[in-house]
Structure 1
Amino acid sequence: MDIIFEHQNFIAVNKAVGMLSIPDRAGSGQSLKELLLKKYGDIFTVHRLDKFTSGLIIFAKDTGTHKALSEKFQSREVEKFYLGLVNGHLHPAEGTVNAAIAEHPAKNGKMVVNAKGKPSRTDYKTVEAFRGYSLVEFNIHTGRTHQIRVHTQYLGASIVCDEWYGDGKPVYLSQIKRNYKLSKQEEEERPVLSRLALHSHRLHFTLHDIEYRLEAPLPKDLRALLQQLRKQ
């Protein structure tokens, strides 16, 4: 468990890809909250990250802090920044998406842009542009399910390896590196990245008159892919 910051009243963790934030109904795998409960005894959920989104997530250690932090999130007093690797390039390179999001009428768990949905706002900015990809920073002002993924699709693009809102295809070094050759030890090429390229990067908030600016570094596999893209 990668603890980014620990306070007497709350804890900030860098959640791994594929780990649930809290237990789900199906009981599919151990959740981060369950691990924290074993370590601290009392832990309270403030917000959540999708299973396949990595990065910064906060849990409260007591009911008073839980109430205070939950109110901060609900009143949009917490600045939430994500980094995502996007297929292609966004046009324009930076801007704001104000597009309401609702549940898909036919596909359970999937979300769509729909005027009758809940108001949703995402600011985005291209941080780096590569051949065929872009590293984009997203600042979400609302916390809708799959918000960044839905809004990126709305812009005509998708987060890399997104099976629901994109093509879901993994990234191979042969797609990036010119004159790529398979090593003698390998029978077939393995992907550099085969999971959703979305990371909760920074959280800024004030609690009891103290300002917190927390940051979770990118996972190793995503850093490795960016390193290869920069070489090209």
Structure 2
Amino acid sequence: MSFMIADHIVFQNEDFVAINKPSGLLTIPDREGKELSLKSILKERFGEIFTVHRLDRDTSGLVVFALNEAAHKHLSQQFEARETDKIYNGLVLGKLISEEGVINEPIAEHPTKRGLMTVWRKGKESVTEYKVLESFRLYSLVQFKILTGRTHQIRVHMKHIGHPIACDASYGDGKPILLSQLKTKFKLSQADEEERPLLNRLALHSSQLSFHGINNDHFSLQAPLPKDFRATINQLQKAKR
């Protein structure tokens, strides 16, 4: 994956840098360290860089890195003490019965499936607030606010209530969103042998992040939805009309 890091910087000062991370890029290096990660790209640009929190590889959106040890300590404490506001947007399968609600279900590592998480009564407390922004025939656009930061939290909680995130291969059906699903009179163009998906990656985006800087200034950062995500919502809205 080659991309210009400058195009993805949402905000930067002497203490931290906020990035609108593309889907498919690791936030920090994995154990093997063979794959490119956002942290390694930032290291090349800034030298020393400190991880404050992370996003799943396939989730796009806001992620913050500290640029010095004092900022790292200050920001990490806020994330750990749940003093930050983290808002995500996601497309989920189906229509939710309640337009808004709170999912308070403990999450733990899956006992048999490595790398996956699951709702389990002996797991760690996990709380997700959700609000339906718009409903379509097959999908719903939902805003999530996470009050805890468990691995795969939104994905696990949405699977648990029967509305997994669209295109989620780990917790849903992993199927892409196709225009032919939405349009009754869909015709494949002659140039294409097979249909190109509207969206073929996890439909989850970290859109807003609020926290306090070292001097107690309040930061409220926003990352616009990626192009593929916006185009998909656009087509869903068209099909609804």
Match for residue 71 of structure 1? 77
Range with greater deviation from structure 2 (58-67 or 208-217):
208-217
CA distance in 2, matches of 1:20, 1:188: 29
Q: Deviations over 1:66-105 (max 9, x none)?
A: 0000000000000000000011112212100010000110
Count residues in correspondence.
232
Unaligned runs of 5+ in 1: none
Whichever residue aligns with residue 222 of structure 1, its letter is F
Say whether 1:216 aligns with 2:234.
no
Give structure 1 regions of 4+ aligned residues with deviation exceeding 6 angstroms.
none
TM-score by length of 1: 0.98
**Residue aligned with 2:236, SS:** helix
Unaligned runs of 5+ in 2: none
CA distance in 1, matches of 2:175, 2:34: 24
Match for residue 19 of structure 2? 13
Say whether 1:202 aligns with 2:221.
no
**Residue aligned with 2:122, SS:** coil
CA distance in 1, matches of 2:58, 2:147: 21
The alignment's C-alpha RMSD in Å is: 0.8
**Residue aligned with 2:189, SS:** coil
- In structure 2, relative to structure 1, the CA distance for the partners of 1:169 and 1:53 (3 Å cut) is same
CA distance in 2, matches of 1:92, 1:60: 38
CA distance in 1, matches of 2:34, 2:14: 31
Displacement of 1:213: 0.6
Say whether 1:82 aligns with 2:88.
yes
Matches within 5 A, 1:103-118: 103-118=109-124
CA distance in 2, matches of 1:100, 1:147: 10
Between the aligned residues of both structures, percent identity stands at 55
Contact 1:90 1:155 in 2 (8 A): no
Match for residue 148 of structure 2? 142
Displacement of 1:27: 2.4
TM-score by length of 2: 0.95
1:52 counterpart (53, 58, 81): 58
Whichever residue aligns with residue 158 of structure 1, its letter is P
Q: Deviations over 1:115-145 (max 9, x none)?
A: 1000000000001111111110000010101
Whichever residue aligns with residue 237 of structure 2, its letter is R
Match for residue 180 of structure 2? 174
CA distance in 2, matches of 1:197, 1:31: 20
